[in-house]
Structure 1
Amino acid sequence: MRILVTRPIDDAQHLAEHLHRMGHQAMIAPLMTVRYRPIPDLERVLDRAQRVLLTSANGARSLARATDRRDLKLATVGRATAEAARRAGFTRIDVAGGDADRLTELCAQRYNPAEGPLAHIAGSVVTGRLGERLAALGFLVERRVGYDAAAIGELPPPVADGLAQGQIPAVMLFSPRTARLFLDEIERIGIASRFTRIDALCLSPAVAEMARGLPWRRLLIAAEPAGEAMLALIDHAGPNGTPPPGHEPAHEPAGRG
């Protein structure tokens, strides 16, 4: 089965390898490009921090680019981010359950605000309220921007044509921002009506909610916000896939407002 992968190129290539081993063909069309940047005042922040928080694989890569230190104590939002950190050489990692709420819970259970600040290495666009929630628990969070994720803008013509002709029966969406960029591009090129034959594979309910602006055949949501759960959705996607128990087809688009 052909599957559209919309992640930035580093993550997309890694995912495409998994899909190939599963017997599928990945079509890669990143909707954002990642540009790493120097992190100001990083060593002072790291010296003070009891733990470094990473909420994306790009955050792990940006930290690895910005410092040679690999003795840092990290806390990652989920397994995929932890794996990116391990590939970069970090070994002291606590792993949360896959979203910001679970990362907040991990910090509350394992760390003490009196033992020092938490450093959060993130992108220039941050979704969610991780910093606010941790501050309410008494933590000082020092956020530093390690990368920008800029919108690319257009789908490659072979991908747009494949979607219009019903040749790509599944689209993987990993963030609300990616889903919004994808919807905007589909509306711009005027092929929204073709999506009654295409399934959306969404990392979380928040991603699915943003994706509802298209008349998808089905909106499938991963059982947990992790890469393995996204891959498990593939068994339910496409014309021969069986929807998960209790799932309702998404025949009618909903507004995004």
Structure 2
Amino acid sequence: MAVSYQTLRSDLPLDQRTYIVSGAGGGIGGAAVARLLRTGANVVGTDLSGKRLAGTAEATQDLPGKLEVVKADLTTEDGVAQVVETALETFGSVQGVANVAGGMVNINQDVYDVPLADYSLQDFVQMFALNVNSAFLMCRALEPHFFAQQYGKIVNVASLAAFANRLELGNIAYNSAKAAVVALTQTISVQSGRKGVRANCIAPGLVLSARVQQFIQDDYMQRHLDYTTLGDLATPDDLAEGIAFFLEPQSDAVTGETMRVAAGVR
């Protein structure tokens, strides 16, 4: 079947678009919400923490777009369904989703590079639920809507840890989960491209979110600065720009890609 021009690109103005952003109460997710609201877009922000969501809502209340927040557990089908239903009932359609929810379970400096022998199956499965299941469930829930309108943008947040080429970026479970996020994205891009869906990944390195700054040690941060080609670390705002690029129409000819936003760390 021939693919029409309409399935390849959407000319819908930025201020008429609607996006879902998971992990909206965190550093990268909150920055992505703010970046999209600045264009006048509608955003449904979701997070497991109502307190963090309230912080994002307060920080973005003067921006021109409209924000709807939903507290939900995105590792469950019911939680994801609640978010998608809210988005469609409130705004009528969804043009894209940023699956930012994820990260390292109980993150602190002690969870990096845990030996394989010391990692439990329960912890391994929990890491996949947080990082992979949440993205899979959201993509699956939105697929019928994206197919019906012949257009949809998916941005999944992986990590440089997905490539497992440097110590101290994650651990055996986190690295594996983020590699699965990359593979999930690439597979969706191949399966769904002819129906107007684009799926891409963002891969950050060390990002000094407020949560990370609470435990990060100076020597650890210096080692990561030494890895960079720019001599600095990417910020949550830098990651938000990458996410916005993949959600907005300027990237409509791009799918199945992973963009490293990490100050040149490979």
Under TM normalisation by the shorter chain, which class is it? 0.3 to 0.5
Superposition TM-score, scaled by structure 2 size: 0.32
Q: Relative CO higher for 1 or 2, CA cutoff 8 Å, sep ≥ 6? A: 2
| Greater share of helix | 2
Superposition TM-score, scaled by structure 1 size: 0.33
